[in-house]
Amino acid sequence: MILCLRLCRRASRSFSSTSTSNTSSLSKLRFLFLPSSPPNPESHYAHLILTSHSFNPNRKWSPHQFHPLVTDPDLLIRVLNMIREKPEIAFHFFKWLQSQRDLKQSSLAFAALLEILVENDLMSKARWVAERSIDLGMHEIYDLLIDLSVVDKGIACKILDLLLWVYTKKSMVKHCLLSFEKMISKGFSPSVRICNLVLRLLRDKKMVNEAQEVYRKMMEREVVPNWPGFCLRWREERLMLLR
């Protein structure tokens, strides 16, 4: 919940900085921060999403009816926050939005939904969202989540682990190593499972020096790989490459 509220504020600040008129910026900020001011679009769309889904869970939402959420990421984040108590509905609606041709993508919206899903332990759905964000090239989500002022550290660590898993799955070595380094430097400890996957990817790519560095940093964080035979295999492969 903390993330959604702060993302609303961050989106507001970003929106304000790009405005050419101080008066216009002030009016837009008031619109974002005063949910009680008439009309209240987030309440309207949150109610519409929940009621339409309860009547018919398989219902296809109308693009025309929800067009403002397709084109306004700030409004979408506020709506997601209002329906966070129904995380599965939030996921299905967000997934439906991804099929809309004129959707304005936002890494902030992806981060907000990831927080909601992971907070409710809906990891299979969170994996879909994480993969979608990476497919869209939204690598900045990593930096957003690492900022401890934005999201609870426990939830952030799970999401960072999830994104790192996506990088290993897609064999995106550069992003994998960069993300691993960011986690370590900011005090996060990747899970043993994820570290095993990173080491395996580096082994398959014959990147022995990089594997050694990852292993060293894992040991510093007291994250010991449980990949059977890893240490012996790593030493043998390193010796072969040095010959």
Same domain, 127 and 45: yes
Of the candidate ranges 3-17, 109-123, 189-203, the one whose mean pLDDT is the lowest: 3-17
DSSP-assigned states of every residue in the chain: -HHHHHHHHHHHHHHHHT-S-HHHHHHHHHHHH-TTSSS-HHHHHHHHHHHHHHH-TTPPPPTTTTHHHHH-HHHHHHHHHHTTTSHHHHHHHHHHHTT-TT----HHHHHHHHHHHHHTT-HHHHHHHHHHHHHTT-THHHHHHH-TTTS-HHHHHHHHHHHHHHHHHTT-HHHHHHHHHHHHHTT----HHHHHHHHHHHHHTT-HHHHHHHHHHHHHTT-----TTHHHHHHHHHHHHH-
Q: Would 182 be classed as within a structural domain? A: no
Task: Compute the distance between CA of residue 17 and CA of residue 135 in angstroms, rounded to an integer.
Answer: 28
Q: Write phi, then psi, for 222 (nearest 5 degrees).
A: 60, 35
* Rg of the chain, C-alpha, whole Å: 21
The whole-number average pLDDT for the span 218-223 is: 83
161 and 76 co-located in one domain: yes
Instruction: Summarize the confidence of residues 88-108 as an average pLDDT.
Output: 94
222 and 169 belong to one structural domain: no
AA letter at 48: L
Question: Does some domain include residue 180?
Answer: no
Within 8 A by CB and 6+ apart from 109, the residues are 73, 76, 77, 80, 94
pLDDT above 70 covers what percent of the chain? 72
Selection from 186, 100, 112 nearest residue 143 by Cα: 186
Residue 10's pLDDT is what?
Answer: 53
Give the domain extent around 214: 189-243
Looking at the structure, do residues 170 and 231 belong to the same domain, yes or no? no
The burial class, CB within 10 Å (0-12 / 13-18 / 19+), for 50 is: middle
Q: Are residues 194 and 159 in the same domain?
A: no
Of the residues 151, 174, 197, which one is the last residue of a structural domain? 174
Are 201 and 101 found together in one domain?
Answer: no
Q: Please check whether residues 161 and 215 belong to one and the same domain.
A: no
**Predicted confidence (pLDDT) per residue in 7-50, tens digit:** 555 544 543 444 334 444 434 434 444 444 446 899 999 999 99
d(CA 213, CA 169): 20
Is residue 181 domain-resident?
no
| C-alpha–C-alpha distance, residues 75 and 70, integer Å | 9
How far, in whole angstroms, is CA 193 from its chain's centroid? 19
More confident residue, 140 or 55: 140
Is residue 164 within 8 Å of 198, Cβ to Cβ? yes
Instruction: Please tell me the distance from the alpha carbon of residue 198 to that of residue 220, in angstroms, as a whole number.
Output: 16
Query: What's the pLDDT at 1?
Result: 57
Is 90 exceeded by the pLDDT of residue 104?
yes
Q: State how many domains the chain has.
A: 2
Determine, yes or no, domain membership for 63: yes
